[in-house]
Structure 1
Amino acid sequence: MKEHLKNDLENINHLLDITKKQGVEYLDFITNRPTSVHHIPVWEQQGLPESGYGTEEALQIFNKRFEPVMVGSSGPRYLGFVTGGTTPASIVGDWLTTIYDQNTQSTKGQGDISANIELETIQLILKLLGLPDSFLGGFVTGATMSNFTCLAVARQWQGKEQGRDVAKEGVSGPVKILTATPHSSSIKSLSLLGLGSSNIIKVKTAGDDREAICIQDLEDQIVKLNGDPFILISSGGTVNTVDFDDFSEIKKLKDKYRFWWHIDAAFGGFAACSTTHSHLVEGWEYADSITVDCHKWLNVPYESAVFLIKEQYKVLQVETFQNSNAPYLGDPLENFGYLNFLPENSRRLKALPAWFSLMAYGKKGYQYIIDNNISLANQFGQMLDGSQDFKLLAPVRLNTVCFTLRDDEKQDEVGRFLEVLNNTGKVFMTPTFYNGHKGIRAAFVNWMTNENDIQLIFKTMNDVIAELK
C-alpha cells in the first residue's frame, strides 16, 4: 500500500492527465451517451484488496465494470426529475474543490477561511435572483437539506412564539403547518424535525387544474387558528406543473397575521432570471426563508443547494444549530462559522462550482439558459398539443411539461409507453400522477438542450407509440 501511495504521488500529473482525457471524452460524446441502461449487468461484488492496485489499475477496473453503464444524466436529453447539467466553469470549480479540500466553516479564524468564498457566492446568487442582501445564506447538499434547515429555524421561531426553546426542550404540542402542494422533501423534513406530517393543514388549490394555494381558503384556515402561530410552506414552482403561489397576496396576509413564511423555490426560483417570467416570483423577497437548488437550474454538479433565511433570525438559527459543547469556538455571533448556522459540521467548499459558473457566465449567461429552456419547453408542449397521440395535462407554465396519452382509454398503457421510450436510451423522462391521470413529466433545465434535441425526442416518441399500436 505504501508503495502505491508513493508511486501515485510521484505520478499525480499522469494520473490527472488520464482522468482528464477520460472526462473530456465523456463530455465530447455526451449527446450520444444513453440516457438509461436497458440491460443491467450482474456484478460480482469486488472484495477489498489486501494491498490495493494503485490508482491507474483501479481506474481500469472502474472502466471495465462501471463506466459502460454510466448514463448521460448531465446531457441534453435527460429530462427526468429536474436534473441540471454541469457548465464547463462549474466542472473547473468542482475539480478545484476536491483538490483544495477545504472544510468550509470560518471567515477569519486561523486555518481555513474559505467561508468567505461561500458568503460571496451567496451574494452573487442574491443578485442573480433579484433578492435583497437581508438574507443570510449557505450551501447544503440539496433541496431536502435546504428545506430542513429553513424549517428547523421556523420550528425554533414557532416555539419562541409559544414561550418555548424547542432546540433545548424538544418539540411538545402540535405545530401547525399550512400548505397546498408541498414537495416530498418538505414532508420528509417535517418528519426529520419531529414536527410530523400529520400536522399539515391542507389548503385548497386555486382551481381543479391548479396546484397553487387558494388565497381565500388560506385566510379562512388562518382565521380558524385563532391567532396561534403557524408555518406556511408555499411553492415557487410545483414539481408537476411549476405552479406558483401568489406571493404578493401572501405578503398581504403576512401583514395581517403572524406566521413563518417559507418558500420552496428549488428550481422555480430561477424564473427571476427570465425576461418573460420573472413576474412569477414577485413578492418572494418578503418570505422568511427560501429554498433554492443549484444542481438543478444553476447547472452545477451535485450536491448543491442554498438556504436563504432572513438575517434578522440569525439568533434563532444559532440556537438551532450551534455547537454548544465546543467553547473553543467562541461566541457564534461574534466569530462567524457556518457550523453554527446549518446542520453539517463537516462540509466541502460546495460554493466554488457555483462561484466559477456565476463569474464565468454572469447574469446574461443565466438569463439565456433560463429563457432558452422555457422556450424549448413551450415548443415541446405545442408539439404534444398538436399531436394525435399525446395531450397536455396542464399548461406549460415555465420549464416542465406534464402530459399523457391522448386516449383516456389507454391510461393503463402510459407506464409501458414510458418504459419503452426510456429504454431507447435517447431520452429519459419520469412518471407522475396529476389530476386523476397517469402522466409523464419532462423537465428542461440543461444548458446544452437545443431544438435538435426536441425534434429527436418527439420523433422517438412517435416511433415508440407506433410500435406499441
Structure 2
Amino acid sequence: INFDLTQKERLDLFQFTISSLENYYKRTEAYKVSPELDINEIVDVVRKHDFNSNLSPREAISTVIAALEKYTVHTPHPKYYGLFNPRANFSGIIADLITAVFNPQMAAWSHAPYAAEVENYLIQEFGKKFGYNAQKIDGTFASGGTEANLTAVLCALNETFPDYANNGLMGMKGRPLIYCSTEVHHSIVRAARTVGLGLDSVRIVNVNSDQKVDIDDLNSKIKEDLKKGNQPFMIIGTAGTTGSGVIDDLNNLSKVANKYNLWFHVDAAYGGAAILNKKLKNLLKGIEKSNSITFDIHKWMSVPMGASLFLTSNKEILGKTFRIATEYMPKEGNGLQIVDPFSHSIQWSRRFIGLKLYLSLLIFGWEGYEKTIEHQRKMGAFLKLKLEDSGWLIKNDTSLPIVCFTDEELQFNSSFTSSICQKLIASGKTWISVYPIGGINTLRACITNYSTNENHLEELVMLLNEERKKFQRKEEKVIQD
C-alpha cells in the first residue's frame, strides 16, 4: 500500500478536490440552509461502506462531499442566523490545508520553532489589543472556548491555592467557589466538574433587567459564603453572552474581584472581537483589568473550527499550572530562552491552530477585520430596524449583532416562538433559534456571516411576517371553533 499515492494521483486529487470544494464554496447560498433529518437514512449512508472493499480515491472524495452537502446544516450560508458558526474566510481554509500537509509537532518548540513563534507573536499582539501590560502577557491557543475556560479555572485554582498542583482538592479547608451569572456559558459548569469541584462550587449570580450580572447580588453571595467558611477564588464576567449578546459590567466586576482578592476571568469567546472595532471596543472597558480572557478565533474572526485563544496577564501562571518534567520530550531547546508549548497548556500534541489567524491577518490585516466587524454590526442594526418596522418587539439590549425578538401580543403564547422557529427551519430558507429573555421565549437571530447583506435580512423579516400571519389566523380559528 502506498499511502502517499503517486505524484500524478496526488495532483489529480488535489485538483479534483479543490474543484469540488470550490463549487460548494461559491454556491453555498444555492443550498437549503438545513437538511431534513432522517437518522435512519443518514446512518445507512455512512455504514453502507464496510471497508472490506475500497473505493477509488475520486469515488471516496465524492461520496464524502456529496453526503456533507446533503446532510449538514450549512452554517457558511448567509441566511444562517444561529450559533456562532460563521463562513470560514478562504485564507483560514488554506491555512488548514498547509497545516495538514506540514503537520508540525506543536508540543516541543524545537520541533516547530516557526509555528511556535507565530503563536507567541499573536498572543502578544492580542494581549496588547485587550490592554494588558506587554511585559506580563502570556497565553496559549486552544481547541475552543471550552478548553480556554477550563484553562482559566485551572489557572485560578493554582494561583489561589499554592498547594493545589500537589494536593488537589484534598488539601483545601473549605469549598472553593466560582461566581458567574445565569447567562454564563455552560462550559464553566463543565470545567468545574472536570477539575473535581462539582456543580455546587459554581455560584450562580442573578442578572438585572438588562441581563448583566447584578453586582449587589454578587457581593451579597460572596460575603455569605465567606461567613460559612467557604473559599471564593474566581469571578467570571461574560463579554457577549451566547443567548442575548450582553456584555457584563467588567469594570465593576474587576473591583469586586480586587476587593476579595479573586481571580477575574472574562469569557469573551464571542464579543472579544469587538476590541478590533472603533465603535464597539469601548463596550469591553475593564477587560484590561482581568487576570485572563477567553477569545474564540473561530467566531467573529471567521476561520475554520476550532481555534480559541487563552490570554492571561499573569506571566508565570501557565507554567505553574501545566509544567511537568519528562524524559522522552526533545531536549534541543535546552539552554534557549524558549517555552515548550506542551508545558504551557492542557493539550500535548495539537494542531498549528494559530496559522489560521496569522495567515488571515497577513492577507487582510487589522483593517480588514475592522471593516468586516463593522459590516456585521451594521447588519445587526439594520435587522433590528426592519423588525421594529414590522411590529416585532426587541427583547435584548446589545450593540453586538444578536437580536432576540417576539410579538408583543403573542409573547405569552407558549407555542408561538417554537412554532415560528420550526416552520422557518423546516423551510430550508433560513435558520434561527429560540432563547428565553426574562422568562419569555424569544426568536433569536445572530449575524455571524461576513457575506450576509440587507437583501438576506429583508427576506428573513418577510418570512417571519408570513409565518406570524399564519399563526394568528390559526389561533383565531381555534377561538372561533
TM-score, with length taken from structure 1: 0.90
SS of equivalent residue, structure 2 residue 299: helix
1:433 deviates by 1.7
Q: Which amino acid aligns with 2:118?
A: I
Mapped pair 1:296 → 2:299: yes
String of CA shifts for 1:178-207, please: whole Å, max 9, x gaps. Answer: 1223211111111111122212223332x2
Distance 1:53-1:437 versus aligned 2 partners, 3 A rule: same
* Alignment match, 1:37: 35
Partner of 2:321: 320
Return the offset for 1:335: 4.5
Alignment match, 2:206: 204
Structure 2 residue 414 is the aligned partner of structure 1 residue 411: yes
Aligned to 2:59: 57
Distance 1:371 1:64 in 2: 35
| Kept in 2: contact 1:122–1:137 (CA 8 A) | yes
Report the residue type matching 2:71 in the other structure.
Answer: V
Please give the alpha-carbon distance, in whole angstroms, between the structure 2 residues aligned to 1:135 and 1:14.
Answer: 46
- Cα deviation 1:162-188 (Å, max 9, x = unaligned): xxx222222134111112232111111
CA–CA separation in structure 1 for the residues paired with 2:108 and 2:358: 18
1:272: how far off? Answer: 1.3
Where does residue 310 of structure 2 map in the other structure? 307
Report 1:20-99 matches (<5 A): 20-40=18-38, 41-44=41-44, 45-50=47-52, 52-99=54-101
CA contact (8 A) 2:241 2:247 kept: yes
Taking only aligned residues, the RMSD between alpha carbons, in angstroms, comes to 2.4
Q: Secondary structure at the match of 1:459?
A: helix
Cα distance in structure 1, aligned partners of 2:112 and 2:379: 47
CA contact (8 A) 2:411 2:441 kept: no
Give the conservation status (yes or no) of the 8 Å contact 1:83–1:445. Answer: yes
Partner of 1:240: 243
Q: How far has the Cα of 1:39 moved from its partner? A: 4.9
What's the CA shift string for 1:236-265, capped at 9, x where partnerless? 121222222222223333443311011101
In structure 2, the partner of 1:420 is: 423
AA partner of residue 394 (structure 1): N
Q: CA deviation at 1:129?
A: 4.5
Cα separation, 1, equivalents of 2:129 and 2:370: 9
**2:216 equivalent to 1:216:** yes
- Aligned equivalent of 2:144: 142
Does the 8 Å contact 1:124/1:358 carry over to 2?
A: no
Q: CA deviation at 1:65?
A: 4.0
Distance in 1 (alpha carbons) for counterparts of 2:7 and 2:323? 38
Say whether the 8 Å CA contact 2:124–2:137 is kept in structure 1.
no
- CA distance in structure 1 between the partners assigned to 2:328 and 2:9 by the alignment: 43
Other-structure match for 1:121? 122
Secondary structure class of the residue paired with 1:170 = helix
Equivalent residue pairs, number:
457
Q: Which moved more, 1:257-266 or 1:226-235?
A: 226-235
| Mean Cα deviation higher: 334-343 or 5-14 | 5-14
Measured in 2, the distance between the counterparts of 1:79 and 1:184 equals: 21
- Out of 347, 358, 362, the residue aligned to residue 359 of structure 1 is 362
| Alpha-carbon distance in structure 2 between the residues aligned to 1:204 and 1:6 | 57
SS in structure 2 at match of 1:15: helix
Measured at CA, do residues 214 and 23 of structure 1 come closer, stay the same or move farther in structure 2, by a change above 3 Å?
A: same
Does structure 2 retain, via aligned residues, the 8 Å contact 1:378–1:396?
no
Q: CA deviation at 1:440?
A: 2.0
Distance 1:99 1:442 in 2: 37
Is the 1:241–1:397 Cα contact (8 Å) retained in structure 2?
A: no
Q: 1:62 to 1:204 in 2, by over 3 A?
A: closer
Percent identity (aligned): 24
CA contact (8 A) 1:265 1:292 kept: yes
Task: Measure how far apart 1:325 and its partner are.
Answer: 4.1
5+ residue gaps, structure 2, are: 474-481
- 1:372 maps to a residue whose letter is H
Per the alignment, do residues 465 and 254 of structure 1 end up closer, same or farther by CA in structure 2, a change over 3 Å counting? Answer: closer
Q: Residues 33 and 71 of structure 1 are in contact (CA less than 8 Å); yes or no, is this contact kept in structure 2?
A: no
Give the counterpart of 2:372 among 340, 356, 369.
369
In structure 2, the residue matched to 1:167 is: 165
CA distance in 2, matches of 1:402, 1:267: 16
In the other structure, the counterpart of 1:339 is 342
SS, match of residue 408 in structure 1: coil
In structure 1, distance between residues paired with 2:335 and 2:55: 45
What is the alpha-carbon distance in structure 2 between the residues aligned to residue 467 and residue 30 of structure 1? 29
Cα pair 1:158 1:229 within 8 Å, conserved: no
Using the alignment, how far apart are the partners of 1:128 and 1:453 within structure 2?
Answer: 33
Distance apart, 1:130 and its partner CA? 4.9
Residue by residue over 1:298-337, the C-alpha shift from the partner in whole angstroms, topping out at 9 and shown as x without a partner, is 100001111112243x2x4224323434465568996511
Q: Deviations over 1:359-414 (max 9, x none)?
A: 211111111111211111122112222323x3222224322111123313433121
| Larger CA deviation: 294-303 vs 67-76 | 67-76
C-alpha separation in 1, matches of 2:451 and 2:118: 27
Partners of 1:381 and 1:396 within 8 A in 2: no
Which residue identity is paired with 2:55? Y
* Counterpart contact for 2:379–2:453, Cα < 8 Å: yes
User: 1:275 is matched with which residue?
Assistant: 278
5+ long unaligned stretches in structure 1? none
Instruction: Work out the CA distance in 1 between the residues paired with 2:131 and 2:160.
Output: 28
When normalised by structure 2's length, the TM-score is 0.88
Partner of 1:271: helix, strand, or coil?
helix
- Separation in 1, partners of 2:73, 2:111: 43
Report the residue type matching 1:284 in the other structure: I
2:479 counterpart residue number:
none
2:17 aligned to which of 5, 16, 19 = 19
Task: Label 1:127 to 1:455 Cα distance change in 2 as closer, same or farther (>3 A).
Answer: farther
In structure 1, the residue matched to 2:458 is: 455
SS across alignment from 1:352: helix
SS at match of 1:179: strand
| Distance in 2 between residues matched to 1:200 and 1:177, nearest whole Å | 5
Contact between 2:149 and 2:294, CA under 8 Å: does it hold in 1? Answer: yes
Does structure 1 retain, via aligned residues, the 8 Å contact 2:95–2:359?
Answer: yes
Q: What CA distance in whole angstroms lies between the structure 2 residues aligned with 1:193 and 1:242?
A: 28
